[in-house]
Amino acid sequence: MLFSWCNTHPDSAAAVRCRVKSLTMPSTYINQENQLRTIVNLDLNGHNFTLDDVRRLIASKDDSADRQLRVTKDGLAYLSDTTGSEEIDNLCFRLETWDEGTDYVGQKAAIHDEWVSKIYECLKNNWPTPVSRLIDQF
């Protein structure tokens, strides 16, 4: 289901635009620390996603932990808290793990047009036929 959804932090309103056209319904879960978390998935099918969609995905998690951008065999891209080679059976491909504190995800990362464009092109170029199951150069 495609819809427009925007859950921006007040400090990020100017930095991250909320013109979201191809984000699927976010799901929530309770993590091990009993904190409510939201998962945002970007549907890559049809290649109708935009730079702003990728920007929203990058901004959907903060930089306080290691993260990995993963793409399922069904074409849903998401930022995962599970990194490395764990739980990869249902993945089409994944990008290298981004270490915490490196500003590859979060609000700061989402305002860097060059970074967002690199991720956008990487997703476009590797879905549905990735060059490798682990993409570490893009």
Would you give per-residue pLDDT tens digits along the chain (138 residues)?
Answer: 232 334 433 333 333 333 333 344 455 555 666 665 566 899 999 989 999 999 999 999 999 999 999 999 999 999 999 999 999 999 999 999 999 999 999 999 999 999 999 999 999 999 999 999 999 998
Residue 96 DSSP code: P
What are the tokens at 3? 């819809």
| Closest by Cα among 38, 49, 42 to 23 | 42
Cα(41)–Cα(90) distance, integer angstroms: 15
pLDDT of residue 40: 87
Question: Which residues are CB-neighbours of 136 under 8 A, at least 6 positions away?
Answer: 95, 96
Question: Which residues are CB-neighbours of 132 under 8 A, at least 6 positions away?
Answer: 93
| Closest by Cα among 134, 127, 25 to 73 | 127
The alpha-carbon radius of gyration of the chain (Å, integer) is 14
pLDDT of residue 25: 43
Ordered by start, the domain boundaries in the chain are 10-135
pLDDT of residue 8: 39
